[in-house]
Amino acid sequence: MSNILQWLGHQGQGDLLHVFLLLCFLLLFVFFFKSNGKGKKGLHLPPSPYKLPIIGNLHQLGPLPHHNLQTLAERHGPLMLLYFGSKPTLVVSSADAAREIMKTHDLIFSSRPNTNFGRRISYDFKNIVFTPYSDYWREVRKICVLQLLSMKRVQSYRPVREEETIAMIEKIQSSCSSSPSFSALVNLSEVLMSLSNDIICRVALGKKYGGGWRFKEMMGELGYLLGVFNVADFIPWLGWVNHVNGLEKRVEKLFVEIDSFLDHVIEDHKHGHREKDYGDDADSGGQDFVDFLLQIQKDKNAEIAIERDNIKAIVSDMFIGGTDTSNVLSQWTMAELLRHPEIMKEVQEEVRGVTKGKANITEDDIEHMHYLKAVIKEALRLHPPLPLLVPRELMETVNIQGFDIPAKTTVIVNASAIGRDSVSWDDPEKFEPKRFLNGASSVDFRGHNFQLIPFGAGRRGCPGTQFAIVVVELALASLLHKFDWALPNGASGKDLDITEAYGIICHLKSPLVAVATPHF
C-alpha cells in the first residue's frame, strides 16, 4: 500500500484525476459484477442476460426493442428478467406466460409504471392508458366503455364510418379520373390516416377537425417520445441529460400542441360550435363524448370529480388511440397484400363476389368476408400496432412458472414475439392468412387466445378493439373492391420497403405508396 501511495504522490494533478476516475469505475464494475444475477434474498428470479454497470441491459434494446427482446428470449427463455438502469423488468415472450399474467394473476399485474413522459402527456395520470390501477382508473374506464366503446355505441357510429369511407374512395376515384392513364399514385399512409382521424373526430368530438392541426405530425412525435429511452426513468440521477439532448423540450412542445387542440375542442362544445353527426344512437340524447364529460363535470353527485384536465386527458386517449391503431393496422395489411399479390387477388375475388356489383360496401357485407378477416388477423399477428403493448407494473410479489417476481417490477409483454413464436405457430415468419381458415380458425385477437394478443388482454386490454377493427375492415374491403393495386414503376412485392419506424407504435418507416386503377 505504501508503494502505491508513494507512486500516486509522484503523479501530476491531471494523472491523479484519471487514476481516481479509473478507480471509481473499477469499484462500480466490481459492485455490479457481484450483484449480477443476484436477486433479493430467498427469491428464485427468472434468468437474466449479463448486465453492464449503471445501464444494466439497456444497451441490448437496440432501435427496434421488440425484435431484440425476442432474440434474447430465444436464448434465455419466455420469462426473462432484465434491468433497465436500476429498474427490474420482466419480459414475457410466450402465450403460456402471458396467460398467467393477463388472466390467472391479472389483478396484481394491472398497474402502470411511473414514467416522466407518460405523466406529462396524461396530465399527471388522469387518463386511462398510463394511470396506475385505482378507483379513479376503474371509473374512467367504465365511462369510456359505456359512452363511446360499448358494442351498442360502436354500432351506432356505422353511418359515420360508411360516409367517411365512401368519401375516401371518391377522393381516390377523382385522382384516377383526372389522370390520362386512369390510374393514380396514392399515398395510402396519408389516406388511411385521414380516414381514421375523420371518423374518430366525428364520433368522439362531434365534428371533423382539419385546418391547421398537424395530426399526422403529432401522432408521429407522440409515438416516438413514448418509445424513446428516457434516462430519467431508469437512471434518475442522470435525468439532467434530457435537458441537454432536447428531449424535455420536445415533450413540452408536443404537450402544448396537444393541449391547445383539446382546449379548442372543449371551447367548441361549450359554445355549440360543432356538428351533431356522430351517430344515430337515440340514447345519446344528441350528446357526443365530450358533451358527456362536460355534463359529469357539472354533476356534484358524480362518482369521480372531473375537471378540465381530466376531460383533456380522457379525450386525448380516445382520440390518439382511436386514430393510430386502426390507421397503422390498415397500412400494414395493405403493405402485406402488395407484397403478396396472389393473396390480394384471392381476397379481392371474395370481396367482389360478396358485393356482386354493388356500388358501395356496407358493414353487413363484411360479415360474409371470412378471408378478409383472416388477412387482417394475419397482419395483426405479424405487425401488432403496439408490439410491446403498454408496460404494466406488478403490485405484489408473485410466483410465475416457478419464478419469483418481486413487487414493483415493470412487466413488458412482447406481443410481437408471441405472434411469431414457433411453439404456437407453424412457419411463423410467413404471411399466411389461410391459417385462420384452417387449424387456427378459432383463434381470435380479443384477449381470449393468448397466442394472439395485439390489443392485450384482461383489465388492461384495449377497450377500443371493436371500434378499431370495424374501421379497418370497412376501409380495406372498400379499397380492394373499387381498385386494383400495384407498386409504382412495376416494382415487385419483394421490393417494398417494410422497415419499421422507431417508437411505441409500429409504423412503417417510409410512406406506403401504391398505384390505384379503378375496377369496373
pTM of the model: 0.89
Helix axes 135-144, 308-339, angle to 10 degrees: 60
Secondary structure of 76-127 as H, E, C letters: HCCEEEEEECCEEEEEECCHHHHHHHHHHCCHHHCECCCCHHHHHHCCCCCC
- All domains of the chain, ordered by start, with CATH? 113-390+408-518 (1.10.630.10)
**DSSP-derived 3-state class of residue 174:** helix
CB neighbourhood size of 185 (10 A) = 12
Q: Can you give the pLDDT at residue 305?
A: 86
Cα 355 to chain centroid, rounded: 33
Q: Can you give the pLDDT at residue 275?
A: 58
Element (H, E) at 169: helix 158-177
Low pLDDT (below 70) residues in the chain = 1-41, 211-212, 273-286
Please tell me what DSSP assigns to residue 145: I
**Segment 213-222 long-range contacts (CB within 8 Å, at least 24 positions apart):** 213/261, 214/257, 215/323, 216/190, 218/254, 218/257, 218/258, 218/261, 219/193, 219/320, 219/323, 219/324, 219/505, 220/501, 220/503, 220/507, 221/250, 221/254, 222/121, 222/254, 222/258, 222/320
The set of cell numbers assigned to 373 is 378477416
Lateral strand order in the sheet of 513-518: 184-187, 513-518, 483-486
Count of residues in the chain: 520
pLDDT tens-place string over residues 329-352? 999 999 999 999 999 999 999 999
Q: Can you give the pLDDT at residue 179?
A: 83
